[in-house]
Chain A
């Protein structure tokens, strides 16, 4: 089954404790991206990747890191999480930029 998976689905952590949210797709897609969803703001792009080893900042990259060492994986790293990073995070992939994106199920992160 074609899908985008994210782990964990729910995470509660404390300020400053490094964490990684994994994202994996099995569709051989070149384009992957991360979004955060906050009430009233829709989805805002954090980082995106056009292909392996090619990443770029989206609209809200501060406080986040990503890497794309393999085509299927695109982890999101929060080196020192803060409460303003409490949000719902989505990973997405598409065959190329401009095509429809397939979204993962979301990761609800709470930073206390």
Chain B
């Protein structure tokens, strides 16, 4: 069974639109960590955020925001006022007793 599900394979938006990436996870552990990583077209993997299971506060970093809801096992990511430079593959990941990645969501922002 997939532990991290990113249901959206691809999302295409026009610049300045908001885009929300869904991430649903599955674990029986009470202590775990959730992550988002970005993979731009150049191929490197860039860490965006880490959240532990006891911290349900939402976080905002510039145009990026994250919504963690334990009740629905979701850790969604929103890009506000998207820009072309946001075009990338975004991965959600869960670390309970090991690290599992979702399949990724490809975001294309058109000028």
Contacts and interface: CB of A to CB of B under 8 A. Distances in A.
A44 B99 CA distance: 9
A98 B98 contact: no
B55 to A, nearest CB: 13
Contact of A42 (B44, B47, B101): B101
Dominant secondary structure of chain A at its interface with chain B: strand
A20 interface: no
A98 B33 contact: yes
B91 A42 contact: yes
Contacts of B6: 42
A35 B93 CA distance: 13
A33 B47 contact: no
B41 interface: no
B13 interface: no
A101 interface: yes
Dominant secondary structure of chain B at its interface with chain A: strand
Contacts of B47: 100-102
B101 A105 contact: no
Interface in B91-111: 91, 93, 95, 98-104
Contacts of A74: none
A55 interface: no
A43 B99 CA distance: 10
Given A99-B50, A102-B47, A45 B103 contact: no
22 contacts: A35-B101, A40-B103, A41-B103, A42-B6, A42-B101, A42-B103, A42-B104, A43-B91, A43-B93, A45-B98, A48-B99, A88-B43, A97-B95, A97-B99, A98-B33, A99-B50, A101-B99, A102-B47, A103-B45, A105-B43, A106-B43, A106-B45
